[in-house]
Structure 1
Amino acid sequence: MQDFMLDARLANDSVSVAIIGLCDLRLMKDRRWPWLLLVPRRAGVSEVFDLTPLDQALLTFETNTVAAALKSTTGAVKINVGALGNIVRQLHVHVVARFEGDPNWPGPVWGHGKPEVYSDEDLNTFAAKVREALSL
């Protein structure tokens, strides 16, 4: 964990909400979708199978916990979870709340339109709600 460095693109596109164990839980800076990222704090990891079996279990547990918290916080119709990594190779898991009629519903969120930035107040408020739902 000492050599862990967050990919510059992830750092630019998101803000840390909390360290939840294995992962840095981050909020994407795009208010069109409530969109969280889990980034395992392990150096040189690009695939889930690169993690130790224990870290794989932790990642699954943290992903499910965050997905449930995001659904309860937002009332989303569907929670999308994915680890693509085609552009940013560092392992990270997307957890996105989706609603019928949201931008690009039912299509994917990646590469659709231009991001809409949160105000500082809205970003901080939403991050606090997520932390509360996670009991942090």
Structure 2
Amino acid sequence: MSFMLDARLQADCVEVANLELSKLLLMDNRNVPWLILVPRKEKAIEITDLSITEQHMLLQEINLVTQIQQKLFNPDKINTAAIGNIVAQLHVHVIGRFKTDPVWPAPVWGNLQAEPYHKGELQQRVQLLRHAMHI
């Protein structure tokens, strides 16, 4: 059985890159820089479904994405979470938050309206992220 990205993640995001363990996605919401790491491991729901080696790899990828968020967007805070109440497939949100964002200081989940990127803006953001990752 091969890895399949959850349909909801596929609908709400655009692919940025395949990292060593995870598929890196950009949420199509221009309100905040919202990246999602999805470990390419079939049937993984919890972080503990990954081997210890994979867990370390995921943490390294979270660190990489956090550093890129800080370098490119200089957020006031990074929100990192693996909730999975709606999409069970293991995925980790790495979201740059700003004191000026529409729902600060509340969490984005259930509070932040989706505002899709404008035409061309989404591809520019993906290219910016890929460039920062040296891909």
TM-score by length of 1: 0.95
Aligned ranges for residues 1-136 of structure 1 at < 5 Å? 3-136=2-135
> For 2:15, what is the secondary structure of its paired residue?
strand
User: Which SS does the other structure have where 2:120 is aligned?
Assistant: helix
In the alignment, the residues of structure 2 paired with residue 96 and residue 79 of structure 1 have an alpha-carbon distance, to the nearest angstrom, of 6
CA offset at residue 28 of structure 1? 0.2
For structure 1, the 5+ residue unaligned runs are none
Residue-by-residue CA offset, 1:42-95 (whole Å, 9 max, x unaligned): 100000000011111110000110111011111111111110001110000000
Q: Report the number of matched residues.
A: 135
Distance 1:79 1:114 in 2: 19
Rounded to whole Å, the distance in 2 between the matches of 1:72 and 1:16 is 20
> Percent identical across equivalent pairs?
44
Gaps of 5+ in 2: none
Compute the TM-score of the two structures, normalised by the length of structure 2. Answer: 0.96
One-letter amino acid matched to 2:19? I
Shift of 1:114: 2.5
Relative to structure 1, the CA distance from residue 113 to residue 94 in structure 2 (aligned partners, 3 Å threshold; closer, same or farther) is: closer
Matching residue's letter, 1:10:
L
After TM superposition, what 4+ stretches of structure 1 lie above 3 angstroms from structure 2? none
**Cα RMSD (Å):** 1.0
Distance 1:122 1:8 in 2: 23
Q: Distance in 1 between matches of 2:113 and 2:76?
A: 23
